[in-house]
Amino acid sequence: MPNQQELAIEARGLVKHFKETRAVDGVDIEVPEGTVYGLLGPNGAGKTTAVRMLATLLRPDAGSARVLGHDVIREADTVRGLVGLTGQYASVDEDLTGTENLVMLARLYGFSRAASYARARSLLEAFDLGDAGGRQVKTYSGGMRRRIDLAASIVISPRVLFLDEPTTGLDPRSRNQVWDIVRVLVDDGATVLLTTQYLEEADQLADRMSVIDHGKVIAEGTSVELKASVGSGAVHVRLADSTDRPAAERIIAQTLDAPVTLASDPYALSARVADDGTERASRLLPALHEARIMVAEFSLGQPSLDEVFLALTGRPTEPETSDDVETETNEAVA
């Protein structure tokens, strides 16, 4: 890289406490312009708090941050004019229709009436909501709701967009639609800071990422770098019958001479493969076959980001199911 890229987001030693909770505990972030940066971590890791400070919604207790060169405290108004934000506290009004929401926002940004309607129409089309513009947002499905949230955050094209868990709780198809939208925004030159609990999401979208846990960055890099720091390979096995799992666990542990990870999916097992372990790994399928264990899927490859998290923290990422409840609690406290 010949030129040092301009930084769209630069945070140094950000800290935020809520009473005794150190929600964000000294976070540094550097995001070059035009890239996607992932903040990856389980529920309660401090992702939303970090984003709220960067988006000027919350004042840091310590540290500093700049967005496009502007200080988030001293130049908060300037920063607000440059960023878009969507996520756990989206601004759309459920009682209004999709069109009404977008028109209202465009009017707030100073568009003329005609220009506001034109902007709303083109956003609704772009986000596959063309037919739903006349319906109240409260009648939308989860995927539609997330897309209108995204549309609302880019009524004026922000140069920096904060997406706080944009796909949590969405089905795979809706998730893919949101990912496609994010890719289009980045192709248009936006910088995106994305928080996610989905390791696959950071892997898909982010150029670089930080893994955060209890308010601290515990790892930083590209997904390839993160995976490399944890080990060169892993086997992933999915069984046809979940009752075979204890037997499969024994065989895998023996064959690879490595501890086996049991995923929350009762059919799945995985294990790290040492650098010189591919020969052992190749003996695994015959060994399972010998024991009459039916294997539905078998792969030998890089460790998943889930396994990266496990290796970094010594525990798996928490289940995603309780997320909405947790979120509401946070907002109520705020």
Yes or no: say if 248 and 288 are a contact pair by the CB < 8 Å rule: yes
Helix and strand numbers (H, E) in the chain are 13, 14
Q: One symbol per residue from 11 to 40: x for binding ligand ADP (CB under 6 A), - otherwise; what is it?
A: -------x--x-x-----------------
Compute the least distance from the CB of residue 119 to Mg ion, in Å: 29
Measured from the Cβ of residue 20, the count of other Cβ atoms closer than 10 Å reads 5
Compute the least distance from the CB of residue 316 to ligand ADP, in Å: 16
Nearer to Mg ion by Cβ, of 165 and 244: the residue is: 165
Q: Which residue is nearest to Mg ion (CB)?
A: 48
d(CA 213, CA 218): 7
Q: Are strands 160-164 and 83-86 parallel, antiparallel or unpaired?
A: parallel
Nearer to Mg ion by Cβ, of 48 and 56: the residue is: 48
Which range in 41-49, 155-163, 173-181, 299-307 contacts ligand ADP by CB under 6 A?
Answer: 41-49
Quick one: which of 8, 11, 40, 43 contacts ligand ADP (CB under 6 A)?
A: 43
Q: One symbol per residue from 24 to 63: x for binding Mg ion (CB under 5 A), - otherwise; what is it?
A: -----------------------xx---------------
Yes or no: say if 162 and 154 are a contact pair by the CB < 8 Å rule: no
d(CA 310, CA 271): 12
Is 332 a residue that touches ligand ADP (CB under 6 A)?
A: no
Is 41 a residue that touches ligand ADP (CB under 6 A)?
A: yes
Residues 6+ apart with CB under 8 A from 198: 167, 168, 320
Is 333 a residue that touches ligand ADP (CB under 6 A)?
A: yes
For CA atoms 182, 183, 185, 189, the dihedral sign is: positive
The site for ligand ADP (CB under 6 A) is made up of: 18, 21, 23, 41, 43-49, 330, 333-334
